[in-house]
Structure 1
Amino acid sequence: MPFSTDGYRWTPEEGLKTGVPTDAVIVPQSLNIDADTVYDAIVVGAGYAGLRATRDLSLQGHKVLILEGRDRIGGRTCSVKADGYVYEAGGTWVHRNQALVWSEIVRYGFENRLKDSQEFYEGSRCPTAIRNDAVHEVPWTDQTSATGFAKFCNIDGQMGNSVFGLHQPADWLRHEDFIKWDSMSCQDRLDQIKEDLSAEEIEGIIHLLLALSKGPLTRPSYGEVLRWVALSGGNLASMGEHTARWKLADGQTALALAMFDDALKTGNLAYSFSSNVSSVTTEGHITTVTTTAGQSFKTSSVVVAAPLNCLADIQFSPALDQTKAEAIAQGHTNHAYKVCVEAKGKQWRNWMGNAYPHKGVPFLNGDGINPSGNSYLISTPGNYIDPQNEMDKLLEGLQYLHPELEVLRIFGMDYHSHPLSKGGWAVHGPGYVTKYLESLQAPAGNVYFASADWADVWRGFIDGALESGAKAAWSAHKQLRNASS
């Protein structure tokens, strides 16, 4: 099993080590690159948006070069494999109602290879919450979180659905109510209704919002949270089904590799990994893409599939328009990283631990049982801890959620600190989407932009990355086709 230089692993015996075992590492690191070739398209980034653009353009017969700064594919997804088990150290869940990702799952034969993150184990502990530094059990039958979250979202008697025409997402940006709610933070909404909430309901809302957006609650747009709920069917249980239940048994890396191999088999693909892009310069009909190592490649079109918070590290010439530049400078607000925990025993399989205030880890959720008979748990904390430099604080934060939790192993990815992500999935601030989304989506001449961070529908999700990559690929294909006709 190859090791990526990304991420980290920890055990009590060996301590903290850099790198994780994953099939996502591409060997050899480069193939068929030629500085004298004028490629039809260069794709910057090998996450899902970049892979979709690469695959689609290659299948259309275009000569494509993909440049990726990491040593692996997948971007903010990465399946770690250890002792016969898959630990998802990045984006994980899919749903049949997420049309773009489901079509890829069916295309590559994974539709009968799903696992249920919420499958119930009879011997599991019930959820707990920390109150006044003590562990309190929350019965499975407790509906406080659901009732509180319903009050939080029910602005119209329809859980926000009146704001979102699911078949006309572009209209959201001009919907008077969406503009209103997008201008508010989640904290603004909580302050607006707090007199109608019990202390337990407020606690439940905060726990949920910390899981969704990392906090503080002044950061995320309330309109963006409403969008997630509306897309999922309008209630908390359905949102859990859509966003945190079904995962690929073989891991997200297996799907990403299937897409990459599809492009490779066309014979139209060249690639270079560990090649970070520093500049994109267009003169006339030709664009030159230059790496930080000083390599330059020429192309007729470019798809920049880098995360929003990394676009400022690429120098564009001509300069990007003012609105797009403002959007890039502001970026999104989710400074998350991913923690995969192996804990001793099966009793943590369905346990959910929450804490607010917390010691750097607001929550930890059971996700499976590995072949050793131990529980697999996950968390995506915000930038409260630097895990690769403060492992003692990470362990303290995990232990605080339940003193009986015995941590045997950790795999993790610090997406917040990584220079090629600078954050987790996109969570936009108040007013950001209304002001900047269309500008982020717009091309700059023959340079197209693709990322889940500015997708129309499942923004921040794997499905959104595939949507954005497909659109960018089609736009580049049309440009290339028109130029040759």
Structure 2
Amino acid sequence: MPFSTDGYRWTPEEGLKTGVPTDAVIEPPTHNVDPDVTYDAIVIGTGYAGLRRKVLVLEGRDRIGGRTCSVKQNGYIFEAGGTWVHRNQAHVWGEIVRYGFDGHLKDSQEYYEGSRTPTMIRDGKLHEIPFTDQSSTQGFEKFCNIDGQLGLSVFDVHLEPGWLQNEDFVKWDAMSCQDRLDQIQDDLTAEETEALTNILLSMNKGPLSRASFAEALRWPALSGGSLYAFGQHSARWKLANGQTALSLAMFEDARVSGNLSYSFSTVVSSVETQGSITTVMTSAGQPFKASSVVVAVPLNCLSDIHFSPALDPVKAEAISKGHTNHAYKICVEAKGKQWRNWMGNAAPHKGLPFLNGDGITPAGNSYLISTPGDYIDPQTDPEKLLEAIQYMHPELEPVRIFGMDYHSHPLSKGGWAVHGPGFVTKYLRSLQAPAGRVHFANADWADVWRGFIDGALELGARASQAVLQATRTG
């Protein structure tokens, strides 16, 4: 099994080590690269796939997938990045069907009879929260119900392109999640406030004043409005073979066409267009030329690439602001099956806002996950992470940990996009717009499932079609 230089792993015996075992590593890292060729397209990043012309992919990491990565250990898959999919996410589901993965899904919420009930750290003490407790549902519905329809009227993508100009959307986008929480505070019980705050922290990964209320409203609105439906869409169904298996299937499809060239561990420093040719310069000083370019890097990394001619001022301003999600991801194998459906919340007193059971490993242990914000850096302070896990429940016994620090990594600088108040209203269309034949395709500025795997494929499909059309018309 190849090891990526990304991420880290920990066991009690070996302590903290750099790198994770994953099939996502591409070996050899370069194929059919010719600096004298003018490619039909150069794609910067591999969160995007699908072109059918002569294409060069330049990827800064040693692996495919960007903010998705399936780690393999002892026959079990630990998803160290984006994980869940749903039939209602049209773009990713189309690829799942195309490559035959639709009959191979795993249920993250499958119930295990011997599982512990959820717990909450309240006033420094551990409290059990019954599975039947309705505080989360009731608080979340009060948070979303601005229109008597749980927010569905505000974010209706079937009104495209009208939803972005919807007066109600603009109004709620200008508010933060904290503003909305303050607005309904008198209508919430103490238990509802506590449960709702934990949900919002799990979505936004930081102070609630940093996140737009409309952005938080978008996720459940796309799912049908209720907290239950939201959970079905965003945290239930995953690929049995892992997200990396889907990425590899798409990558292999492009490779066998004979039109794909690629170079991994290759960081891009500039994109310069002169006339009908765009030159992409790597940080090592190697130029490559193409008729079109697709930039698929995350929003918070676009400022590291110099564009000439200069980008539109509104797009440039959006790039300078970036998004606010400082998340990383940890995967914990804990001793025993009893943590399978357990969820711990601790809001985030010791650095972990939550820890969720997600499966049972072949060794008969529980697989748990968390996506904290910028509270702990496990790669420099693993003891603090272990302390936070123990704080969640004193009987938790970690057997191993895998993690990806997307927040501090220079090729992501954050988790999925969480935009601040007013950001989407002002900047979304500018971020989506091409700069000549330079196209921008990343989940961070997708229209629908923004921040999800589906959003990356949505923007990839749009860019792919634009490049194909440009190629046909010369």
**TM-score computed with the length of structure 1 as normaliser:** 0.97
Matched, 1:16 2:11: no
Amino acid at match of 2:289: K
- In structure 2, give the amino acid aligned to 1:37: V
* Separation in 2, partners of 1:168, 1:292: 43
Question: Which residue does 2:456 correspond to in 1?
Answer: 465
- Cα separation, 2, equivalents of 1:362 and 1:227: 22
**Pairs within 5 Å for 1:16-35:** 16-35=16-35
- Mapping 1:199-214, distance limit 5 Å: 199-214=190-205
In structure 1, what is the Cα distance between the partners aligned to 2:384 and 2:284? 36
Residue of structure 1 equivalent to 2:226: 235
Is the contact made by 1:38 and 1:299 (CA closer than 8 Å) also made in structure 2? yes
Task: Work out whether 1:370 is the aligned partner of 2:361.
Answer: yes
Aligned match of 1:428? 419
Counterpart in the other structure of 1:91: 82
Task: State the partner residue of 1:449.
Answer: 440
Supply the distance in 1 between the matched residues of 2:163 and 2:402 (Cα, whole angstroms): 39
The 5 Å alignment of 1:130-209 reads: 130-209=121-200
Paired residue for 2:343?
352
Determine the C-alpha separation between the residues in 1 that align with 2:213 and 2:162.
18
Paired residue for 2:44?
Answer: 44
Q: In structure 1, what is the equivalent of residue 61 of structure 2?
A: 70
Q: Which amino acid aligns with 2:388?
A: G
Deviation string, structure 1 residues 108-138 (Cα, Å, up to 9, x no partner): 0001110000000000000000001111000
Q: In the alignment, is the contact (CA less than 8 A) between 1:170 and 1:456 conserved in 2?
A: no
Look up the equivalent residue of 1:180 and give its one-letter code.
Answer: K
CA distance in 1, matches of 2:189, 2:160: 35
Q: Structure 1 unaligned segments of length 5 or more: list them.
A: none
Q: Provide the residue aligned with 1:247 in structure 2.
A: 238
Paired AA for residue 30 in structure 1: T
1:169 positional shift: 3.7
CA distance in 1, matches of 2:348, 2:325: 18
Distance across 1 between alignment mates of 2:472 and 2:250? 23
Correspondence 1:4 to 2:1: no
Shift of 1:398: 1.0
Q: Which amino acid aligns with 1:20?
A: V
- What is the deviation of 1:244? 0.1
Q: Which runs of 5 or more structure 2 residues have no equivalent in the other structure?
A: none
For residue 286 of structure 1, what is the aligned residue in structure 2? 277
Q: CA deviation at 1:5?
A: 0.2
Deviation at 1:387, TM superposition (A): 1.0
Q: Please name the residue that 1:312 is paired with.
A: 303
Q: Deviations for 1:380-416, whole angstroms, at most 9, x for unmatched residues?
A: 0001111100101111111111111011100000000
1:107 maps onto 2:94 in alignment = no
Percent sequence identity is 73
d(CA) in 2 for partners of 1:169, 1:11: 49
Contact 1:69 1:275 in 2 (8 A): yes
Q: Deviations over 1:401-456 (max 9, x none)?
A: 11110111000000000000000000100000000000000000110000000000
Q: Give every structure 1 segment of 4 or more consecutive aligned residues whose post-TM-superposition deviation is greater than 6 Å.
A: none
Q: Which residue identity lines up with residue 141 of structure 1 in the other structure?
A: T
Q: TM-score, normalised by structure 2?
A: 0.99
Q: In structure 1, what is the Cα distance between the partners aligned to 2:351 and 2:304?
A: 29
| Deviation, structure 1 residue 357 | 4.3
2:43 maps to amino acid: V
- The separation in 2 between residues aligned to 1:79 and 1:358, in whole angstroms, is 29
Give the Cα separation in 2 of the matches to 1:480 and 1:447.
13
Which residue is 2:352 aligned to? Answer: 361
Deviations 1:26-77 (A, max 9, x none): 0010000001000000000012xx22xxx2x22xxx1100000000000000
Q: Secondary structure at the match of 1:181?
A: helix
Q: Which amino acid aligns with 1:150?
A: E
Supply the AA of the counterpart residue of 1:341.
V
- Aligned AA for 2:319? I
Contact 1:352 1:363 in 2 (8 A): yes
Aligned residues: 474
Tell me, in whole angstroms, the C-alpha distance in 2 between the residues paired with 1:318 and 1:19: 38
Give the secondary-structure state (helix, strand or coil) at the position aligned to 2:19.
strand
Structure 2 distance, partners of 1:86, 1:245, is: 15
RMSD: 0.6
State the SS of the aligned residue for 1:156: coil
- 2:255 maps to which residue? 264
How far apart, CA to CA, are the structure 1 residues paired with 2:63 and 2:213? 35
Give me the whole-angstrom Cα distance separating, in 2, the residues matched to 1:371 and 1:411. 17
Correspondence for 1:323 = 314
Q: Which amino acid aligns with 2:94?
A: S
Q: Say if 2:472 is the partner of 1:481.
A: yes
Give CA-to-partner distance per residue, 1:120-176, whole Å, 9 cap, x none.
000000000000111100001100010011001100110001112232342221000
Secondary structure of the residue that 2:352 maps to in structure 1? coil
Do the aligned residues in 1 keep the contact of 2:30 with 2:263 (CA within 8 Å)? yes
The answer to whether the aligner puts 1:337 opposite 2:328 as a matched pair is yes
Partners of 2:14 and 2:87 in 1: CA distance: 41
